[in-house]
Amino acid sequence: MRSSARNSSRCSSGAQPSQSIAEAGTAAEAIEAARTHRPDLIIMDVRLPDGSGIEAAREIRAENPAIRVVILTSYPDEEAVFAAIVAGASGYLLKQVRSRDLIAALEAVGRGESLLDPAVTEQVLERIRRIATGKYVDELAQLTAQERKILALVAEGQTNKQIAGQVFLSDKTVKNYVSSILAKLNLQRRAQAAAYVARRHLPGDE
């Protein structure tokens, strides 16, 4: 079974390891499909049109701990990896993974093993080391109220010019803010910031 490139989740039957028995395009559909089909394995996109694949995985696992979930994403993201692990995911892979490696990974998860893509393993280990030594810092806590506001607007897909109009700052100042925010959150692109916000509730945003 292979995951499609678009946002989706897929369920597989243990009777035939390569058989896809259901496919969903949203988190809500994935949760309902899991209830209906009770699959052995689900391949879940980290971002879905109506929410987070990680939160969907958490709800699915809460209802049926026997279901194994593998999270797929386009880029390595330390925060998402930890969120996926906490949600009970058995694996976390990059979409760039080769077909034969994906199949091998799914077979491993089917045997009850846990796995991480090599590209994210070192990030996870480094964070564990920071936590163990007391050096871990919550990146979001480092943002000022203004930075959190701008981050939320970036996540909505607004341009620097549009954000500038809302926060009454110049385009250049907003650009500097965005660069600072990405640096504090250890992100590289605005799309990653949008994914970050989708997974976390920003303090002060009600």
Where are the chain's structural domains? 9-131, 139-199
Q: What is the mean pLDDT of the chain?
A: 78
- pLDDT tens for 22-72 read 788 888 899 999 999 888 899 998 888 887 888 888 899 989 998 999 988
Tell me: pLDDT of 76 over 70: no
Architecture of domain 139-199: Orthogonal Bundle (1.10)
Q: What is the pLDDT of residue 159?
A: 92
Give buried/exposed letters for 95-125 (b at 16+ CB in 10 A, else e): eebeeeebeebbeebbeeeebbbeebeebbe
User: Which tokens belong to 141?
Assistant: 């806590």
Q: Which residues contact 116 (CB under 8 A, 6 or more apart)?
A: 81, 91, 92, 124
12 forms bridges with which residues in the sheet?
20, 41
Pairing label, strands 41-45, 9-12: antiparallel
Q: Report which of 10, 6, 20, 83 is spatially closest to residue 48, judged by C-alpha positions.
A: 6
Q: Is the pTM of this model over 0.75?
A: no
- Fold of the domain built from segment(s) 9-131: Rossmann fold (3.40.50)
